[in-house]
Amino acid sequence: MSRVIAHLSRRYHFSASHRLHVDALSPEENRAMFGKCNNPFGHGHNYVVQVTFSGPVDAATGMVTNLGDLDSFAQREMIDLFDHANLNTLEAFLDRVSTTENLSMEVWRIFSAYPHAKLERVHIEETGNNSFDYFGEGSPFLC
C-alpha cells in the first residue's frame, strides 16, 4: 500500500539587522562590494521565512505534521534567536558574512532538525525585490 506524501509550507516573520562586511577587505573594497549594505551602523530587514516540509499524510489526523509542534519549534529555535537581533553578533555569522544566502543555509540547519517531517526548501524574502531559496546541500539544483 502506498503512502500519500504531501508538502506543507509555513511562513514566519522576524526583524533583524546586519552589516555586510568582510574584515579582509579594505573599507573601499567593502563599499564597492556591498554598497549601502556596508553601512557601519548596519541596516535592518523584516524577513519572511517560508519553510516547506514533506511527509506522509497521517491517516488519523490528515496532516503532514502538527502545526502547533512546528510553530513551537520555529519560535524556540529560530524566532527567539533572530528576532530583533544583530545577525553579525550571532555565533552563526561570526566567521561568515550575514548575507541572506548564508541566513538561508542557517535556517536550513535549524529546521533540518525538526523531527516530524522532511525539510525540502527554505525561502527567505529579504525585501520586496530580493528573495532567496535553499534546498540543502544534496539539492539537484546545485552545480
Which of 13, 118, 12 lies closest to 65 in space, CA to CA? 118
Sign of the Cα torsion 130, 101, 10, 55 reads: positive
Catalytic residue among 37, 77, 101, 116: 37
The one catalytic residue among 7, 13, 126, 137: 126
126 noted as active-site residue: yes
- Is residue 41 helix, strand or coil? coil
Q: Is 84 a catalytic residue?
A: yes
Cell match 532538525: residue?
113
Determine which one of 7, 13, 43, 84 is catalytic: 84
101 is catalytic: no
- 78-104 as b/e, with b when 16 or more CB fall inside 10 Å? beebbeebebbeeebbeeebbbbebbb
What residue type is assigned to position 40 of the chain? Answer: P
102 phi, psi to nearest 5 deg? -70, -35
Active site residues: 37, 84, 126
